[in-house]
Chain A
């Protein structure tokens, strides 16, 4: 689609109506994962490994089984009742191994056995009566240690074809890409800086722990209610793990209390189903916060080396990076994504990046908002900042000079279509924040960030009611107000008021497969499908009008919510409003619906530029973010207030990651801080207001120009804050989080 074909005048899109689920959510009646109950329901609880790495010698459940309140117990070894399907391969096997340990506990918190009992307390009591005999094995939790010769092997044979010969078996995926000749590039530079950076694992930190309510009978038919970012993947995975047919398991997504990538897989759902099948009663499992921290996906931790060469005028001559990502006891750490994102904002002649996916004795990492990109930006943008500082150049001017634009060959391969990086940099430069004076002890940092965005399998249905109102069924759980955006786009096409559209997140029995709400894809892909489904309905509405008027279908068009003759030759008829067509649809051919399904490919990459002012207390090492501005390209903001919300939320999570949050493992490989008291996410008094600037450079791949906005907002903060703190402390910060002890020690030495 050419740019000038795109709709640019809107009636509903770009307005900010109240969200459709607002009333439910301010009155406490919205139903989240743990808010479902069923007659005869049992409560499940899971026994978890206290060891980082241990062979499971024996599990004795007899004492727990003897309790009258206990109705079912499952373990992997419990083959008499085969709760899980044997013979799984590939990622399904990994998921199964993660939701219930096989012969080895691979991390502190790994599930060993599960109980269903008549109350939550009884289930927890029963866990204490399960005797597990372990043989402890050597463990490793650090990425650099795990790659060294002699490091404990998490699992032989887990590496795929991509890993070069001679690497440690814990290196399970390898990525290398780039173009040009980096050595020649470095030779052209006036200044080359190479540095090492480390980030710790952080948790997505959604406030709602994982929860589900499962029913599965011996007939292979099941019902599952759970909080998830995508119920079709839950359906598919649970069916595979339990050896039942996919379509026989109906999964309904509850309201979801945050996900950020962490609710894109299964943990407790297959366990609850297995318990339910064995007890023949509904089983509810709700994770504790301790379990969420120990056994659900944190993000990967990273060890990174980045080298960049620059001329005196700010031109980058070459860039090279090595990114080692630790993803827990299973393959999946985003070594490839980290490498591919690292230099994407820049138009480089010579670039090379290498990524490693490394296993350790930690929980299986899960996606967290633009997986890999925030860490990559921390390393790259820190080096660029240092180059600017040493060459006496303005950091925004240097980024503008090197910025990727339409037609740039991206560091990871393809040529960019229309992108908005330059526009975000120009807007940042013009923002009053960038020129505001700083107080003593304060520093300013900026950073760019990049994310690919994603399309994914999508299916949407829309049906009209006799009174002219609209039911819209989408399959992507609403994690930040997306029902409002869907209704706005449908209203735009149909020409009916926003309030007349009821948007539902359909269950797996109601729509075809929908990918997870991830990859910043919902407003893009479900939005595109909503527009197409509404256009499909419009075509049918026009056909009814044509039949009524006795003119050809192509002589009717849709305007302001009415069928009208497409031109003077079509005849003279009064506009026929939607509600008049639907009022008689029973007599004119039956129900009118619209439908669309596809895997849209034009998600449109996205860029942001953040500006941060930070203040460092030189006595305590405490850092306070005093001013924060997010500038990001949204393509087209459908509901600008919720776009701002995504910008602000990503920035706040980035502030936590940069300053406080980290997984702390002790020498025994146990997680030391599995609670919010010790894993400290930002609270209201930690943060300033977060200013936002929405840049709109339309995405050629969406009818209204939408680019996803959910993830890019977390890409620049780590680097922007590190640059601000480095400026304030007058020492380069190379390790996150920049917690007070780290800042204090940096103040005493150099980083």
Chain B
């Protein structure tokens, strides 16, 4: 089967790749662009470990085809920190021990960042429902929710 040529932007960098029409955006990010931060936990859009944003919209990259990235702006966990400056969410996740194994962390950070961009002052319930598409099996979510709330508070103060 012939491959499709795709030009896209990932974390601000222009990138090109060839992909099989069946390859997902997640496959492409990981296997063709060497961006392995997004993880495949299920491949069916149920776990959120592959969360990225596409043109500003939060998506499961396992449910997007690689070919659909043509002309799009993709943002992944690798682009959250600015140089050596961590995003407040990243700092708070470390500070609050909001990760144990860390496999869900990239997806949760991408999703939480999208939340705070939309709702800078979320309630606990809002955070819980926003992150309901991101499975974590280690933490029971307690420390994740606290880290997101704390990061939100810090970002509001800084704003």
The interface of chain A, by Cβ under 8 A from chain B, is: 16, 18-19, 21-23, 25-32, 34-35, 37, 119-121, 204-209, 255-260, 286, 288-289, 479-481, 641-642, 644-645, 648-649, 651-653, 675-677, 681-687, 689-690
Q: Which residues of B sit under 8 angstroms from A29, Cβ to Cβ?
A: 37, 78
- Does B105 sit within 8 A of A, measured CB to CB? yes
Q: Which residues of A sit under 8 angstroms from B125, Cβ to Cβ?
A: 685
- Tell me the bound Cα distance from A689 to B148 in angstroms: 14
Asked if residues B42 and A676 are in contact (CB atoms below 8 Å), the reply is yes
Asked if residues B95 and A207 are in contact (CB atoms below 8 Å), the reply is no
Sample of 11 further A-B pairs with CB below 8 A, known A23-B86, A649-B140, A687-B142: A28-B36, A28-B78, A32-B103, A119-B20, A204-B137, A207-B104, A257-B39, A257-B41, A641-B96, A648-B143, A652-B139
Tell which of B40, B42, B142 touches A690, judged by Cβ atoms closer than 8 Å: B142
The 8 closest A-B pairs by CB, nearest first: A28-B37, A257-B103, A652-B140, A25-B102, A676-B46, A22-B94, A648-B140, A28-B77
Asked if residues B44 and A255 are in contact (CB atoms below 8 Å), the reply is no
- Tell me the bound Cα distance from A25 to B105 in angstroms: 7
6 interchain pairs (CB within 8 A)? A27-B80, A34-B39, A206-B137, A255-B101, A257-B103, A685-B132
- Does B135 sit within 8 A of A, measured CB to CB? yes
Asked if residues A27 and B102 are in contact (CB atoms below 8 Å), the reply is no
- Tell me the bound Cα distance from A652 to B143 in angstroms: 12
Chain B 24-54 interface mask (CB, 8 Å, partner A; 1/0): 0001001100011111111110110100000
- Majority secondary structure, B binding face: loop
Asked if residues B39 and A16 are in contact (CB atoms below 8 Å), the reply is no
Q: How large is the interface on B (under 10, 10 to 19, 20 to 34, 35 or more residues)?
A: 35 or more
- Which of chain B's residues 67-107 have a Cβ closer than 8 Å to chain A? 76-78, 80-81, 86, 89-90, 93-97, 99-106
- Tell me the bound Cα distance from A685 to B41 in angstroms: 19
The interface of chain B, by Cβ under 8 A from chain A, is: 20, 22-23, 27, 30-31, 35-44, 46-47, 49, 76-78, 80-81, 86, 89-90, 93-97, 99-106, 109, 125, 127-129, 131-145
* Minimum CB distance partner of B77 in chain A: A28
Q: Which residues of A sit under 8 angstroms from B102, Cβ to Cβ?
A: 21, 25, 30, 255, 257
Tell which of A28, A481, A651, A675 touches B140, judged by Cβ atoms closer than 8 Å: A651
The smallest beta-carbon distance between A199 and chain B, in angstroms, is 19
The smallest beta-carbon distance between A20 and chain B, in angstroms, is 10
- Tell me the bound Cα distance from A645 to B93 in angstroms: 13
Q: Which residues of B sit under 8 angstroms from A257, Cβ to Cβ?
A: 39, 41, 101-104
Asked if residues A258 and B101 are in contact (CB atoms below 8 Å), the reply is yes
Asked if residues A32 and B142 are in contact (CB atoms below 8 Å), the reply is no
Asked if residues A208 and B41 are in contact (CB atoms below 8 Å), the reply is yes
Q: Which residues of A sit under 8 angstroms from B81, Cβ to Cβ?
A: 27
Asked if residues A648 and B139 are in contact (CB atoms below 8 Å), the reply is yes
- Tell me the bound Cα distance from A675 to B49 in angstroms: 14
Asked if residues A121 and B20 are in contact (CB atoms below 8 Å), the reply is yes
Asked if residues A687 and B137 are in contact (CB atoms below 8 Å), the reply is no
Q: Which residues of B sit under 8 angstroms from A258, Cβ to Cβ?
A: 100-101, 103, 137-138
Asked if residues A26 and B145 are in contact (CB atoms below 8 Å), the reply is no
* Minimum CB distance partner of A675 in chain B: B44
Asked if residues B137 and A16 are in contact (CB atoms below 8 Å), the reply is no
Tell which of A35, A209, A480, A641 touches B138, judged by Cβ atoms closer than 8 Å: A480
Given contacts A258-B137, A289-B41, contact A479 B100 (CB under 8 A): yes
* Minimum CB distance partner of B148 in chain A: A684
* Minimum CB distance partner of A650 in chain B: B140
The smallest beta-carbon distance between B32 and chain A, in angstroms, is 11
Tell which of B41, B133, B141, B142 touches A207, judged by Cβ atoms closer than 8 Å: B41
- Tell me the bound Cα distance from A677 to B135 in angstroms: 11
- Tell me the bound Cα distance from A207 to B49 in angstroms: 8
- Tell me the bound Cα distance from A286 to B138 in angstroms: 21
- Tell me the bound Cα distance from A64 to B81 in angstroms: 46
- Tell me the bound Cα distance from A61 to B147 in angstroms: 52
Q: Which residues of B sit under 8 angstroms from A21, Cβ to Cβ?
A: 102
Asked if residues A209 and B78 are in contact (CB atoms below 8 Å), the reply is no
The smallest beta-carbon distance between A617 and chain B, in angstroms, is 18
